[in-house]
Amino acid sequence: MFWIDEEGVIVRPPEPGWPPGDGYPDWLRAFLDERDANVEAKAAEIEADDPELAARLRGGQDRENYLAAMRDWADKGAESAFAMTPSQVVEASQDRSPDKSAGAAHFELANHLWRADNRDAAIPHFNEAHRLQPDNWTYKRQAWSLVGNEKAGGGELGRFNQGPLPGEEEEWPFAGNFTEEAGSTPAADYYPATL
């Protein structure tokens, strides 16, 4: 998420953010509640099996307070403790090296090819995006989810399959997968810290 004021000025650079959907229509809220219950059950399994991995996956995220920060900014504008000046936004923003730019281009091309049902042509571009931006979890999880979901047969939780199925390790088209890489990521490095 990133925040833009009424004058079109960015007051917070891109960052993870999770405002709750308490304003969603009833049908969408019911769907999300059911999905969240399934996700919570899966998270409890991860917590029971590997508490350290669960802590790493949560590290840096402030889901409960993000909406309060947004409301504070909506109420107080530039006086909000969460609004940044243009120079603070630039300082907090990540640089855009040639490798990052090329990685972004490969990622966009991979997604275009995937949507056009040219899966085999998409995979090398996903891999190149991963090589050029090895710390970009969005690029990795998108590719892992697309392939993993198909291998799992789809469904609401199919996208959480982000690695090879047992016995299919040789067919996995990526150098890494979610379980291996998240398990080796220091706490709070999986997502950048919010706020």
Q: Write out the two tokens for 95.
A: 């640089």
Give the per-residue pLDDT at 21.
65
Give the per-residue pLDDT at 192.
60
- Tell me, what DSSP letter sits at residue 81? T
Predicted TM-score (pTM) of this structure = 0.60
Give the per-residue pLDDT at 174.
94
Give the per-residue pLDDT at 22.
67
Residue among 1, 2, 17, 12 at smallest CA distance from 90: 12
Cα 140 to Cα 175: distance, rounded to the nearest angstrom:
10
What percentage of the chain carries pLDDT values higher than 70? Answer: 81
The three-state secondary structure class of 159 is helix
Calculate mean pLDDT across residues 23-34: 76
Give the per-residue pLDDT at 79.
96
pLDDT of 63 > 70? The answer is no
Residue among 183, 181, 178 at smallest CA distance from 162: 178
pLDDT of 169 > 80? The answer is yes
Give the per-residue pLDDT at 96.
79
Quick count: other Cβ atoms within 10 Å of Cβ 41? 10
Boundaries of every domain in the chain? 3-92, 98-183
